[in-house]
């Protein structure tokens, strides 16, 4: 494991943090400036599904495909788009500072995009990724402390934003909003490391910047982004200690945010779109390892299911929760898929996956695909018209 070096936040940024906090910060938040461990790795001993199998009701769904392993990449999160009627997948490679492009129907690795650096189109520890309208891809870079917007399918850089506010960004959710897009980004800033090399989580009062909003729009022939506030509950019940994955459901005024802090109790916290903790958590009784990726299957009648990964080291458990009620609707595992970080659900699918496809990172080295028809059949889910 690489040693993590820390870069101090500029003084102006510290003043801003202090002004926005209800109490003065106990120490200066720091940025991670080198590839290394992540906050969600702390307190996580080896967690094996094989040791908990009997305690977790589940079904087995065979993967439609698993891509060829590439251990050097450290794959984190996938996202898909339709290109000439065929699904394509881009996945972030944290260690090689690239996006890996796969055939979404077969898992064949086609090419890579990007290189290490700070210039437009270059990447530094890419983590969260989201596509929108089959035209754009947004990529979070933890160690460049920014989000990049690239054009599909050529990955031409269009915009970079967030470096003035973000310290340790990880996940994001993008939706159409107004004349452009709203981007919500999680920020897992810390107070550096203790003597044991573990990241120090800020006090509750200083967790009010766990998520940032940006409005992205096209003006005068170019794309621009404006910061649109930040949020994070600071109560014992609603605070996000370790933040990464976030996903929203505008129809139900709902954001689900993964709380990855195991000592507190890993689960999904429900927030409203305006950033308020809704007073409800999801999956506290279901998660046995660690909450990670989040996706949503939306049906035409307003029903659907949330899909969320429970990150055991040897096999990931994917929990489903009812879209409306958030009640647990079943769980499944693949034949081999494990240690999943990010996930992505393409509801539309294509000729190969006519009812949709669920993509998940696998063991940090590959991407897996699950046919929605197989998931629905195994869990006896009702039909979901799009």
pLDDT band at 43 (very low <50, low <70, confident <90, very high): low
CA torsion sign, 246 to 127 to 305 to 363? negative
Q: What distance in Å separates the CA atoms of residue 382 and residue 385, rounded to the nearest whole number?
A: 10
Domains of the chain and any CATH numbers: 6-379 (2.120.10.30)
**Count of beta carbons in the 10 Å neighbourhood of residue 174:** 25
pLDDT band at 21 (very low <50, low <70, confident <90, very high): very low
Q: What distance in Å separates the CA atoms of residue 266 and residue 288, rounded to the nearest whole number?
A: 8
Q: Tell me, what's the pLDDT at 22?
A: 35
User: 């035409």: which residue's tokens?
Assistant: 300
pLDDT band at 19 (very low <50, low <70, confident <90, very high): very low
pLDDT band at 9 (very low <50, low <70, confident <90, very high): very low
pLDDT band at 335 (very low <50, low <70, confident <90, very high): very high
* Widest Cα–Cα separation across the chain: 59
Q: What distance in Å separates the CA atoms of residue 263 and residue 266, rounded to the nearest whole number?
A: 8
Q: What distance in Å separates the CA atoms of residue 144 and residue 302, rounded to the nearest whole number?
A: 38
Provide DSSP, 153-189.
Answer: TT--EEEEE-TTT-SSEEEEEEEEETTEEEEEEEE--
Q: What is the CA radius of gyration of the chain?
A: 19
Q: Tell me, what's the pLDDT at 7?
A: 37
pLDDT band at 46 (very low <50, low <70, confident <90, very high): confident
| pLDDT over threshold 70, residue 16 | no
Q: What distance in Å separates the CA atoms of residue 5 and residue 136, rounded to the nearest whole number?
A: 33
H/E stretch holding 101 reads strand 98-103
Kindly state the tokens that stand for 159: 């915009």
**Count of beta carbons in the 10 Å neighbourhood of residue 330:** 17
With pLDDT > 90 as the criterion, what percentage of the chain qualifies? 87
Mean pLDDT score, 259-270: 97
Tens of pLDDT along 188-202?
Answer: 999 999 999 999 999
Mean pLDDT score, 89-95: 99
Q: What distance in Å separates the CA atoms of residue 142 and residue 37, rounded to the nearest whole number?
A: 12
| pLDDT over threshold 80, residue 11 | no
Q: Is 17 helix (H, G, I), strand (E, B) or coil?
A: helix
| Closest of 165, 62, 76, 202 to residue 127, by C-alpha | 76
Mean pLDDT score, 170-184: 97
| pLDDT over threshold 70, residue 87 | yes
Q: What is the dihedral of CA 96, 102, 108, 113, to 10 degrees?
A: -40
Tens of pLDDT along 203-254?
Answer: 999 999 999 999 999 999 999 999 999 999 999 999 999 999 999 999 999 9
Q: Tell me, what's the pLDDT at 31?
A: 67
Distances in whole angstroms, Cα of residue 176 to Cα of each of 88, 199, 301, 359: 21, 35, 20, 22
| pLDDT over threshold 50, residue 4 | no
Q: What distance in Å separates the CA atoms of residue 59 and residue 269, rounded to the nearest whole number?
A: 25
Q: Is 379 helix (H, G, I), strand (E, B) or coil?
A: helix
Q: Tell me, what's the pLDDT at 2?
A: 31
Provide DSSP, 29-94.
Answer: -EEE-SS---GGGTT-----GGGTGGGS--EE---SEEPPP-TTT-EEEEEEEEETTEEEEEEEET
Q: Tell me, what's the pLDDT at 29?
A: 74
Answer for the pair 207, 237: CB distance below 8 angstroms, yes or no.
no
Strands 254-259 and 65-66: unpaired
Q: What distance in Å separates the CA atoms of residue 213 and residue 207, rounded to the nearest whole number?
A: 15
Q: Tell me, what's the pLDDT at 95?
A: 98
User: 């160690």: which residue's tokens?
Assistant: 143
Tens of pLDDT along 346-365?
Answer: 999 999 999 999 999 999 99
Q: Tell me, what's the pLDDT at 375?
A: 99
- Give this prediction's pTM: 0.90
Q: What distance in Å separates the CA atoms of residue 285 and residue 293, rounded to the nearest whole number?
A: 17
Answer for the pair 31, 9: CB distance below 8 angstroms, yes or no.
yes
Distances in whole angstroms, Cα of residue 123 to Cα of each of 17, 142, 147, 187, 361: 26, 9, 10, 17, 19
Q: Tell me, what's the pLDDT at 20?
A: 39
pLDDT band at 37 (very low <50, low <70, confident <90, very high): low
| pLDDT over threshold 70, residue 122 | yes
Mean pLDDT score, 292-313: 98
| Closest of 289, 299, 341 to residue 93, by C-alpha | 341
């Amino acid at each position: 494991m690489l040693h993590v070096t820390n870069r101090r936040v500029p003084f102006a940024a510290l003043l801003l943090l202090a002004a926005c906090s209800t109490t003065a910060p106990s120490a200066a938040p720091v940025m991670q400036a080198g590839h290394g461990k992540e906050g969600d790795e702390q307190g996580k001993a080896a967690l094996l599904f094989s040791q908990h199998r009997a305690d977790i009701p589940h079904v087995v769904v065979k993967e439609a495909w698993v891509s060829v392993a590439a251990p050097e990449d450290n794959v984190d999160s996938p996202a898909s788009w339709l290109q000439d009627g065929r699904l394509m997948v881009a996945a972030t490679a944290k260690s090689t500072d690239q996006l890996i492009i796969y055939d979404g129907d077969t898992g064949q690795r086609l090419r890579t995009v990007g290189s290490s650096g700070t210039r437009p189109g270059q990447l530094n520890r890419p983590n969260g990724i989201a596509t929108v309208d089959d035209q754009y891809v947004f990529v979070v870079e933890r160690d460049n402390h920014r989000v990049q917007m690239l054009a599909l399918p050529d990955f031409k850089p269009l915009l970079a934003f967030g470096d003035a506010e973000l310290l340790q960004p990880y996940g994001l959710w993008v939706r159409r909003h107004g004349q452009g897009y709203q981007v919500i980004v999680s920020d897992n800033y810390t107070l550096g490391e203790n003597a044991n090399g573990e990241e120090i989580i800020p006090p509750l009062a200083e967790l009010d910047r766990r998520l940032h909003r940006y409005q992205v729009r096209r003006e005068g022939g170019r794309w621009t982004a404006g910061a649109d506030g930040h949020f994070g509950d600071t109560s014992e019940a609603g605070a996000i200690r370790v933040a990464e994955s976030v996903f929203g459901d505008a129809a139900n005024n709902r954001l689900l945010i993964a709380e990855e802090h195991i000592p507190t109790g890993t689960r999904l916290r429900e927030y409203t779109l305006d950033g308020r903790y809704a007073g409800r958590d999801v999956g506290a009784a279901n998660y046995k390892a660690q909450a990670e990726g989040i996706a949503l299957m939306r049906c035409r009648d307003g029903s659907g299911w949330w899909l969320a990964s429970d990150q055991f080291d040897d096999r990931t458990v994917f929990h489903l929760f009812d879209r409306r009620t958030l009640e647990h609707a079943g769980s499944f595992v693949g034949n081999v898929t494990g240690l999943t970080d990010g996930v992505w659900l393409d509801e539309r699918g294509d000729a190969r996956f006519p009812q949709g496809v669920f993509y998940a990172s696998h063991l940090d080295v590959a991407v897996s695909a699950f046919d929605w028809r197989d998931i629905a059949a195994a869990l006896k889910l009702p039909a979901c018209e799009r």
